[in-house]
Structure 1
Amino acid sequence: MNTVASGHFDTVVQAREINGGVHMHPPAADRHVPGHLPPRPRTFAGRDRETRQLTAAVARSGIAMICGGGGIGKTWLALHWAYQNIAQFPDGQLFADLRGFDAAGEPKTPCVVLHFFLQALGVESGRIPVDIDGMACLYRSLVAGKRMFILLDNVRDIAQVTPLLPGSSSCVVVITGRSRLVGLFVQHDAQLVPMGVLSAREAHALLTRRLGFERIAGEPAAVGELLDSCAGLPLALGVVAGRATARPGFTLTRLAEELRDTATRLGVLDEHDPATSLSAVFSWSYAALTDREAETFLLMCLAPGQDLSLPAVASLVGLPVEDACVVLRELERVSLVQEPAPERFRVHDLIRLYGIQQARQTPTRHGPEVALRRLVDFYLHTSRAADRLLDPDSQPVDIVPATEGCRPAVLETRRAALAWFEAEHSQLLAVQELAHRSGWRQHVWQLAWTLHAYHLSRGHLHHDLAIWRLGYEAVEGVAESAAKAIVHQMLGYAYSRLGVHAQALRFVADAIHFAVETGNLAYRAAAHHAAAQVWGRHGDTVEALRHAAAALRIYRAVRTPLREAFALNMVGNFAARLGDFELARGTYEAALSLFRAHHHRLGEATILDSLGRLADAVGHTEALGHYQHALVLLQELGDTYAAAETLERLGQTYRALDQNNRARAAWRQAMRLYRTQRRTADADRLECQLQLLKAGVATVDGGPWN
């Protein structure tokens, strides 16, 4: 960097250096106005939020720290802000790259940087104190009262940066680094400016500025693929733009094809210059980790899904939660992992690819398979505990024992179970895929089993079909009749709910066959229960009633009162559909008594809904009370799937009573739930009902049990 001189001035600065008991006074220095900033970033785009945060941080304390992972654009943000505000610093700018994470070796020491700064401020080399305290004292004296900008780039720790902080509030200091230096915030009131990846809009704007609007607009599909491959990382986008600029004859589609394979993507994005090599940049952070931190990082890169909770990571690495938290905080501090939500951690996509490469070359204590098995066990056992809170009377299933070191999460309430399923749903699907790829057959179908009550309560019908199809693949070719009975039964349910009746009928017939093979009456009852539901949806009410009655007899024989109550509800539904309202009312009332005796609120809501339908068949006024009570219970329980159907029926009752505004409100709520649950036919039917209601045409439904 060239020093920009602007005149000379005489200064008398009294600085005391204690060096062997000798008091030294700093020499007079000619006036120097250093201009050390690297060139202004010419293709800077986006980062409006971070720029505003930096402005506010500087205004508050004069010291700001920009923190983020390698290649995230920390230095560019600092330079962009500095050049925007250059007029505020007439006394100059100082810049030093402290090489906190550098492949070349050790970071720069404060002594080296102070020596450089003092020279830049006009102090002759021979008159610079040899002691760091003396250098720091002289440095602070020279910048005191001056309006200067000081950029300390790529800082590793607080010891490296503290001697470089001026004592004068007239100076502005911006620090960049991958580690959050908590001591700076506590001791010097520094303000944090965190940096994450670019948004899709910002990434697109950056690529457009580098390549030009015409080239970007000409291949929109390829541009989208390039943006996905770079995952919002500015350094990766810069490499892509550089390759595209260097190859003007190549299409962006060709470049996107090179990046398509995740196994080779990092190699394609790497350049010969270590400063622009993604692998090199990531390696500098990785090399600074302890063995335990490195192992945790690598295992997180190998784990499936987008993010992991703190308890999940603890099981993955086989540590107590408290110890895992300490390790994760360090990884998050050096920006190798992110914490997008409290106690949920994720690894950036490109950093993950680097970690996977390293994992292939770095043996862990017991190999990654053991760690991943602990993770799958964590999800299986926690999911089973959550499922029991949602469906406490479900079929008994002996879950695979947990691997040593696995620590399932503790859930105590239905609300907590629903919240856990909501947070972990995508992760559970990814974990089941991992179990399937790994050949852990029992885990595959048992994970599906633990998810089915949640899927039904939230209306995730397509996901439910997908997990049970994997479960079906897992039990094919094995001699476990009990597992086959459950999987075929649940796959029949899943197909039936989506209207694929032929497949559903075949699977429930097979379920009955496998249930008989087990010799277990509970499995036989459950298989007949499923067959009744499927035949009912298929439209054969007589056959449905036959299976419902068979399930009811067995449930009574094995003394399972809640299952008996659900079977009574089915018998009542099919009897009502056949016109036997007296039988229907009797079975509903018997079921309601059982559910209330056992404090089963979901079962109570189910029967109230059935009583509402029965009342609709013989007169509407009584139905309102049943539907409204059922709806309150379903909403409290979070069962949005059943709530949507109850809302639709409530609307029908309001419509029959000429309460059109209330009918409209109920149907609109139901339609929103149907759309969310991808129940397109149901939503379209209601939309048609609403249009007819608006036009003043009498609406028509297929009867309360259709």
Structure 2
Amino acid sequence: MANMWFTVLGPVRVWRSDAEVDLGAPQQRSVLAVLLARAGQPVGLTEIVDVLWGEDPPASAVNAVHRSVGMLRRALEPDLATRSAGRWLTRAGGGYRLDGDADTVDLLRFRRLLTQARADGDAGSRVALFGQALDLWQGPVAGTVAAEIRGLPVFAALDREYEATAREAADAALAAGAPAVVLRAVEAAADRAPLDEALQARLMLLLAATGQQAAALRRYDTVRARLRDDLGLDPGAEVAAARDRVLRPTAPDPSAVPAPTVPVTPRVAQLPLDPATFTGRRAELAAALALLPGDASPASVVIGSISGMAGIGKTTLAVHWAHRVAGRYPDGQLYVDLHGFSPTGQVMDPSEALARFLEALGVQPHRIPASLDARAALYRSELAGRRMLVLLDNARDTAQVRPLLPGTAGCLVLVTSRDRLAGLIASDGATPIPLGLFPPDEGRQLLVHRLGAARVAADPRAVDEIVGRCAGLPLALAIVAARAATDPHLPMGVLAAELRDESGRLDTLTTGDPDSDVRTVFSWSYRALNADAARLFRLLGLHPGADVPVLAAASLAGLAPGRVRPQLGELVRTGLVTEHTPARFAFHDLVRAYAADLVHTVEPDAERGAAGARLVEHYLHTAHRAALLLAPGREPIVLTAPGPGTTVEPLADQDRALSWLTAEYRALQAFVARLAAAGADELTWQLAWTLDTFQRRQGHVHDLVANRRTALAAARRLADPAVLADAHRDLGHALTGAGCPEEARTHFAAALDGYVALGDLACQAHVERGIGYSYQVGGRYDRLLLHCQRAEKLYRAAGHRLGLAKALNEIGFAYTRLGQPRLGEPRCEQALALFRELGDRHGEAACLDSLGAIHHGLHDHPQAVRHYRRAVELYAREGDSCQEAASLIRLGDVHHDAGDADAAGLVWRVALRILQGLQSPQPELVQPRLDQLAGGLSAGSR
């Protein structure tokens, strides 16, 4: 087979055996660019279409994608036999996947080199690996495709990854005293990111460390000029400190200065998209930028408080401001909508906001404390020493904001609220930035920016009337502009006349009553929709989430996704919703309130009830499918088939299931509460059941216990003995995971009584295993053994082979922990044969892990290593990162006991990265091992 090499870190190119492949038309090159940016992962047809055509794809878009892929296959695989099998471009996940690896795709090789660099204990080797990784970048990512496509998030994310790697490489080189190795690569990255002050500062230190002080000072002058020209700012503290270090001849050699610790968690970048239509607010933006410190390090947290009425543009200004200065906060940006004036009245508790921030900062869910004060303290600790930007949008009052403030200098906090937040200004030193109505010239500027100067100049009197009747409210002007943009032939005079006809209501725009102001304009925009889009808009008011995915919207409307997409596009064009991420649509909170009003006042009760039922079916059936993909051996519950018009997400694999559950988790939790409140008991316990595996693997222990208590209450009202027994058993498992084994056993006992009455031997066995696990938590392996032996007998009597395999494995594990590995080995071997016969790879992995422990106990280190390695491979293939990390920890233990400290350290570091990066539980089990290992090496070196 010919050797292939694909590049996207620069021009999109392909070589076959040193000869470049002709990729054909630009559209084919763009399709390949998207697949390369997500190499090894499925890319859905919808995503490819969105990248190529944006919001207005042609009717033939999907066929065009298929044709482009066909042409690419002919170019990449000239041999017909190979092409028919799809060696490089394969169908996957409702779209296509480029099946490359680190030997064939530059992006994957780049990431492999990074992994090797971060795991390498030798400083010099580490720097060399960073240099090799950066050398793979040959220009702007996807440099040969159209500029408007290169600017899309899928490619912008790769640019951010490149810049973060350049900073990390510079730190490693300075710490190792080898600045020359990465100097040119870091310089290339700095040239491509001229406003990244953290990167520019590191380049200055590298130049100085290689004896090029003059070049370092020239770089400072260039950075200062660029910041002043583009942002109106002086260089921040980091660039200023680097200049001072270059200037002071007595300062320590920069190459000898230890590099800062590189965080394990990815850089947080949560800011929403910078609005391309931002206009006006010159004075307010200047006041905001003036808050930032100059060369000197800030003495405290900088807080800017933007206040004003609904629709005045608070969020727009805050997000634009944040994007302009984000480069000065190299540790990232946090963002949360606090729903302080949510139309549903569901103000976000600061405790929930803290939980989201802590998860984003890499804190595992099980480590997040329950109390508000404890969460706030941990949050302040996580931000200590970091320079981050925190945007708190739509705050209710000072009490909601105060727990979310960092505790040390170096951070910028932006707050938006309809309230003036006088307490935040008086007690916390916030600088107020009140927003008023647009003056007429800025209102006119907004219309020019969105409609073009010629359209506005065609009828200046009508434009003046429109600006006047909108009374300077930016949101009202934006909706008028959207109305005009959707009908380019509509004279501005007609728009002015329509506003004039509504003058009795539009006059309220001058009263400062935000609800009536905006609702009036919304009603006008709503009436411009066609009947189908207007119906969809009303029904979206039934959705409880922060945003709505396409298939949920399709289920609400009872339409196929292809029919609902044009309607969503019309809602976007008229300014009623925004597509803030591909295929996910969000409301302004007042628009959501207006939609909720309409669905209850306009939509017939029967239609509203049917739409709500379809939405619940969409979430329940998709969540059920996701749950079974995450745990294929789990016995499914029986659901009523979804009714006509319900669309279920076509989740194809575990990765898709995990992504969907992550994106929809808040909405699913809201549905559990909503269904319980409505007395929909059967749906309540069914939906709680679907979330069980996800919550356990993601560490959402408190939510899991709460859901299981809700499900138990629903089961009691249903009075179905089987459902009630299941609910007791599931709550027992949740409580065990939450560290409440005694309470868990009371529910296991109730479940066991129920299953005995039902004569269900297999479920009795499940409970016995659960009881055994509750004792394992406390280290009572004798009781684990006893209950798993009972489970074995029950499984044999019931003919339940999968359960029998699990019980045998747990019996073998218990014997091992009791110091009798030779008694455990035959049980685990029996279990392994059963798992393999049944095709249960997850169970096979668990068995191999147990056999690793057995051979470790027998001091057969080579055999223990083989079993653990195979267990790790299977867990990784099954997507169970928690257990993958657990097996890696035990594999490291074997290496350590065998006297191979280097191998142990390497494996433990991989385990730590998995746990920290994927929010899995108990990373603290790894760090002490690494600390002890480092201590032993230090002592040995002395």
Q: Same fold (TM over 0.5)?
A: yes
Equivalenced residue count is 491
* Cα offsets for 1:311-332 (capped at 9, x unmatched): 2211122222222222212112
Aligned residue for 2:544? 304
Q: In the alignment, is the contact (CA less than 8 A) between 2:627 and 2:693 conserved in 1? A: yes
Aligned residue for 1:596? 836
Q: In the alignment, is the contact (CA less than 8 A) between 1:274 and 1:281 conserved in 2? A: no
Which segment drifts farther, 556-565 or 74-83? 74-83
Q: 3-state SS of the aligned residue for 2:819? A: coil
Alpha carbons of structure 1 residues 526 and 39: separation in structure 2 relative to 1, 3 Å: closer
- Which one-letter code corresponds to 1:334 in the other structure? T
Alpha carbons of structure 1 residues 296 and 160: separation in structure 2 relative to 1, 3 Å: closer
Equivalent runs, 1:503-652 vs 2, <5 Å: 503-619=743-859, 620-652=861-893
Aligned residue for 2:695? 455
Superposed displacement of residue 522, structure 1: 2.7
Task: Name the CA distance, whole Å, in 2 between partners of 1:567 and 1:99.
Answer: 79
Q: 3-state SS of the aligned residue for 2:777? A: helix
Equivalent runs, 1:255-654 vs 2, <5 Å: 271-272=511-512, 277-364=517-604, 366-619=606-859, 620-654=861-895
Alpha carbons of structure 1 residues 281 and 519: separation in structure 2 relative to 1, 3 Å: same
Superposed displacement of residue 480, structure 1: 1.4
Superposed displacement of residue 483, structure 1: 1.2
Query: Which of 483, 490, 499 is matched with 1:156 structurally?
Result: 483
* Cα offsets for 1:582-615 (capped at 9, x unmatched): 2311111111111112222111111111111112
Alpha carbons of structure 1 residues 678 and 341: separation in structure 2 relative to 1, 3 Å: closer
Task: Name the CA distance, whole Å, in 2 between partners of 1:307 and 1:608.
Answer: 43
Task: Name the CA distance, whole Å, in 1 between partners of 2:683 and 2:523.
Answer: 35
- Which one-letter code corresponds to 1:156 in the other structure? R
* Cα offsets for 1:644-673 (capped at 9, x unmatched): 211221222222233333333433443454
Aligned residue for 1:208? none
Task: Name the CA distance, whole Å, in 1 between partners of 2:938 and 2:462.
Answer: 76
Equivalent runs, 1:80-159 vs 2, <5 Å: 154=481, 156-157=483-484
Aligned residue for 1:656? 897
- TM superposition score normalised by structure 2: 0.47
Superposed displacement of residue 625, structure 1: 1.6
- Which one-letter code corresponds to 2:704 in the other structure? D
Q: In the alignment, is the contact (CA less than 8 A) between 1:270 and 1:278 conserved in 2? A: no
Q: In the alignment, is the contact (CA less than 8 A) between 1:400 and 1:443 conserved in 2? A: no
Q: 3-state SS of the aligned residue for 1:346? A: strand
Q: In the alignment, is the contact (CA less than 8 A) between 1:100 and 1:154 conserved in 2? A: no
Q: In the alignment, is the contact (CA less than 8 A) between 2:486 and 2:573 conserved in 1? A: no
- Which one-letter code corresponds to 1:636 in the other structure? R
- Which one-letter code corresponds to 1:385 in the other structure? R
- Which one-letter code corresponds to 1:649 in the other structure? R
Task: Name the CA distance, whole Å, in 1 between partners of 2:706 and 2:466.
Answer: 45
Superposed displacement of residue 364, structure 1: 3.3
Q: In the alignment, is the contact (CA less than 8 A) between 1:512 and 1:527 conserved in 2? A: yes
Alpha carbons of structure 1 residues 675 and 504: separation in structure 2 relative to 1, 3 Å: farther
Task: Name the CA distance, whole Å, in 1 between partners of 2:679 and 2:791.
Answer: 34
* Cα offsets for 1:259-313 (capped at 9, x unmatched): xxxxxxxxx9994579992222322222222333223212212211122221221
Which segment drifts farther, 398-407 or 587-596? 398-407
Alpha carbons of structure 1 residues 653 and 350: separation in structure 2 relative to 1, 3 Å: farther
Q: In the alignment, is the contact (CA less than 8 A) between 2:627 and 2:690 conserved in 1? A: yes
Alpha carbons of structure 1 residues 399 and 152: separation in structure 2 relative to 1, 3 Å: closer
Q: In the alignment, is the contact (CA less than 8 A) between 1:300 and 1:347 conserved in 2? A: no
Q: In the alignment, is the contact (CA less than 8 A) between 1:585 and 1:611 conserved in 2? A: yes
- Which one-letter code corresponds to 2:811 in the other structure? V
Task: Name the CA distance, whole Å, in 2 between partners of 1:434 and 1:270.
Answer: 38
Q: In the alignment, is the contact (CA less than 8 A) between 1:317 and 1:371 conserved in 2? A: yes
Alpha carbons of structure 1 residues 93 and 391: separation in structure 2 relative to 1, 3 Å: same
Q: Which stretches in structure 2 are left out of the alignment for 5+ residues? A: 1-278, 286-316, 326-435, 471-477, 493-507
- Which one-letter code corresponds to 1:79 in the other structure? Q
Superposed displacement of residue 535, structure 1: 2.2
Q: Which stretches in structure 1 are left out of the alignment for 5+ residues? A: 1-37, 53-70, 106-150, 166-267, 700-706
Superposed displacement of residue 103, structure 1: 12
Task: Name the CA distance, whole Å, in 2 between partners of 1:666 and 1:77.
Answer: 61
Which segment drifts farther, 576-585 or 397-406? 397-406
Alpha carbons of structure 1 residues 635 and 599: separation in structure 2 relative to 1, 3 Å: same
- Higher Cα Rg, which structure: 1
Task: Name the CA distance, whole Å, in 2 between partners of 1:644 and 1:303.
Answer: 37
Query: Which of 932, 936, 940 is matched with 1:692 structurally?
Result: 932
Q: 3-state SS of the aligned residue for 1:345? A: strand
- Which one-letter code corresponds to 1:658 in the other structure? G
Alpha carbons of structure 1 residues 412 and 272: separation in structure 2 relative to 1, 3 Å: closer
Q: In the alignment, is the contact (CA less than 8 A) between 2:875 and 2:883 conserved in 1? A: yes
Aligned residue for 2:445? 79
1:43 is the counterpart of 2:290 = no
- Which one-letter code corresponds to 2:874 in the other structure? L
Task: Name the CA distance, whole Å, in 2 between partners of 1:460 and 1:632.
Answer: 26
Q: 3-state SS of the aligned residue for 1:539? A: coil
- Which one-letter code corresponds to 2:863 in the other structure? E
Superposed displacement of residue 471, structure 1: 1.4
Q: 3-state SS of the aligned residue for 1:154? A: helix
Q: 3-state SS of the aligned residue for 1:476? A: helix
Q: RMSD value over aligned CA atoms? A: 4.1
Alpha carbons of structure 1 residues 98 and 358: separation in structure 2 relative to 1, 3 Å: farther
Task: Name the CA distance, whole Å, in 1 between partners of 2:878 and 2:858.
Answer: 29
- Which one-letter code corresponds to 1:630 in the other structure? A
* Cα offsets for 1:496-544 (capped at 9, x unmatched): 1222222122221121112222222232222222122222223332332
Q: 3-state SS of the aligned residue for 1:506? A: helix
Task: Name the CA distance, whole Å, in 1 between partners of 2:875 and 2:754.
Answer: 34
Alpha carbons of structure 1 residues 78 and 476: separation in structure 2 relative to 1, 3 Å: farther
Q: 3-state SS of the aligned residue for 1:436? A: helix
Superposed displacement of residue 41, structure 1: 5.8
Superposed displacement of residue 401, structure 1: 4.1
Q: 3-state SS of the aligned residue for 1:399? A: coil
